[in-house]
Amino acid sequence: MGKKIDLTGQVYGRLTVLEDVGRSKDRKIIWKCQCECGHTVDVRSGDLQSGATQSCGCLHKELLSNRSYKDLVGQKFGRLTVVEDVGRTKKQNVIWKCVCDCGNTVDVITASLQNGHSQSCGCLHKERTSEISKKDLVGQKFGRLTVLEDVGRKRKGVVWHCLCECGDIVEVMAGNLQSGNTQSCGCYKKEPHLGEKIPIGKGELLP
């Protein structure tokens, strides 16, 4: 066995050797090293001296990131205009500051912009949800319920007055009508039956 060479204090790439922490299965000395990024890593002597290992792994990630980096400043995705590169996520994804057409700013990663997942600061989704909730249901039939009129709005959407086939009137949220969760004033559940569903379609217009 050759004489041990003390590498303590020596620098290899981004790594500074701290101490000998033992031997590998093939009897090679393993050194604990401090990376410039702050992480510590155990590396074999040969890998340090040959230059095979020069960081805790952060150097390799940065090189890959730089190769795939594409400047998106000035480009527009939906309602978002990219203003500047503001950093990286833990997975080294580029984070972009974007200005929305409505005036708000939002930070978005590259993939979300390019795949269309993020097209606004969130205002677009709110508008679409609002448009859906404004749909006029008057005259439509859902199960045993016929929609009579819009009686106002709550946090979760529009509330409708509905006339049940049994003669009762009930207030129902638009979402519950459209999803089929509410199909009567409650009378159907009180009737003796075998658990079959109401054989009436949703959203049928009355003749």
pLDDT tens by residue, 96-124? 999 999 999 999 998 899 898 899 998 88
Residue 82 belongs to some domain of the structure: yes
Which carries the bigger pLDDT value, residue 204 or residue 27?
27
Exposure string of 176-200, with b = 16+ CB inside 10 Å and e = fewer, is: bbbeeebbbbeebeeeeeeeeebee
End residue of a domain, out of 61, 78, 96: 61
Q: Say yes or no: 80 and 34 in one domain.
A: no
Q: Where are the alpha helices (DSSP H) in 51-148?
A: 58-68, 110-114, 123-133
Is 170 a domain residue? yes
Residue after which a domain boundary falls, among 125, 147, 164: 125
- Residues 16, 56 contacting (CB under 8 angstroms): no
What is residue 205's predicted lDDT score, i.e. its pLDDT?
46
Model pLDDT, residue 198: 52
Q: Would 19 be classed as within a structural domain?
A: yes
Q: What is the mean pLDDT of residues 12-17?
A: 94
Q: Answer yes or no: do 143 and 116 share one domain.
A: no
Give the pLDDT band (50/70/90) at residue 60. confident
> In the β-sheet with 15-23, what is the strand arrangement from edge to edge?
11-12, 15-23, 29-35, 40-44
Give me the number of domains the chain comprises: 3
Shared-domain flag, residues 86 and 113: yes
| Same domain assignment for residues 180 and 148 | yes
If asked whether residues 117 and 158 sit together in one domain, one would say no
**What is the structure's pLDDT at 96?**
94
Model confidence pLDDT, tens digit, residues 85-98? 998 887 778 899 99
* Within-domain flag for 174: yes
Q: Are residues 89 and 146 in the same domain?
A: no
* pLDDT, mean of residues 119-132: 78
Do 192 and 142 belong together in one domain? Answer: yes
Pairing of strands 80-88, 40-44: unpaired
Q: Do the domain assignments include residue 191?
A: yes
Q: What pLDDT is stored for residue 207 in this prediction? A: 43
> What is the residue range of 138's domain?
134-205
Check whether residue 114 and residue 84 sit in a common domain. yes
The per-residue DSSP string of 9-74 comes to T-EETTEEEEEEEEE-TTS-EEEEEEETTS-EEEEEHHHHHHTS--SSSHHHHHHHHHHH----TT
Q: Would residue 6 count as lying in a domain?
A: no
- Whether 75 maps to a domain, the answer reads yes
The answer as to whether 90 is a domain residue is yes
